[in-house]
Amino acid sequence: MSCRLEQQLGPYLEGELSVEACRRIEQHLQSCPSCGRVLRELRATVDLLRLVPEPSPAPELRHAVMDRIATTPDSRWALGAAWLRAHVTPLPAALAALAATALVVVVVNGSDAPLTTVALGSLTAPVAPRAAAPSAPLAVPQPTPGTLRPAATGHSPRATRMGTGAGGVGAGGAAHDGAQRL
Given this model, what pLDDT does residue 177 score? 46
Look at 151 and 179; give whichever has higher pLDDT: 151
Q: How confident is the model at residue 104 (pLDDT cuts 50, 70, 90)?
A: confident
Look at 143 and 161; give whichever has higher pLDDT: 143
Average pLDDT over residues 92-121: 70
Q: What residue segments make up the domains of the chain, in order of their start?
A: 6-51, 58-109
Q: Evaluate if residue 179 carries a pLDDT over 80.
A: no
Q: Evaluate if residue 11 carries a pLDDT over 50.
A: yes
**CA distance readout (Å), 126 to 29, 64, 116, 181:** 85, 44, 6, 30
Q: Which residues fall within 8 angstroms of residue 162, CB to CB, at 6 or more apart?
A: 169, 171
Closest by Cα among 110, 114, 118 to 130: 114
pTM of the entire predicted model = 0.33
Look at 142 and 162; give whichever has higher pLDDT: 142
